[in-house]
A and B are shown apart, each in its own frame.
Chain A
Amino acid sequence: EIVMTQSPATLSVSPGERATLSCRASRSVSSNLAWYQQKPGQAPRLLIYGASTGATGIPARFSGSGSGTEFTLTISSLQSEDFAVYYCQQYNDWPQTFGGGTKVEIK
């Protein structure tokens, strides 16, 4: 199965700053990659699919890029509600697999 590796494990950012999260696939997943946000006690929420397409209702400050094996989620200006754990997921190969997550915390 494809292994998804996210880095860093924890990212400390001040409100208003830019956050850049990375996700690497053990082999190419084309653009079949999604990003999710999860807050404590809540279900994951879809942010990005197709590597760069924003899901319905997701603020424009969230953007995704990349293809093949290297992907990036960028939050242009962190708001208080953005502090959470972020997961990437590939759906190119079976079984679909998730990365281990990046926790974005307040600096």
Chain B
Amino acid sequence: QVQLVDSGGGVVQPGRSLRLSCAASGFTFSTYALHWVRQAPGKGLEWVAVISYDGNNKYYADSVRGRFTISRDNSKNTVDLQMNSLIPEDTAVYYCTRTNGNYRGFFDYWGQGTLVTVSS
């Protein structure tokens, strides 16, 4: 069965960095675009970043562009989110999710989420 397992969250001071990871199984990883979507405490869902099936194309939300970098390893079935220059507004649960092929689409499977707290 399809599984996405998110990890790497924690408490970090403003200005510091954190790296999230998502391990995938149960599907042909190299044919899916992979996304990160976040949810601030008590708030709604916000799309953060996407990487194409082959890793050649990456797009970011305006709120994180220049600070976050998404990457993938199709040999290990993993996708990472490197988060630099973190600010308190980045505090959220981060979910890994996928779309079939295209960057735009509906998200049919989600990871369980990993909590990032940016606080001094």
Q: Which residues of A contact B (CB under 8 A)?
A: 32, 34, 36, 42-46, 49-50, 55, 87, 89, 91-101
Contacts and interface: CB of A to CB of B under 8 A. Distances in A.
B47 interface: yes
A21 to B, nearest CB: 14
Contacts, number: 52
Interface residues of B, number: 19
A87 B39 CA distance: 12
B47 A96 contact: yes
Interface in B33-87: 44-47, 59, 61
Nearest to A89: B106
B106 A46 contact: yes
A43 B112 contact: yes
A89 B110 CA distance: 15
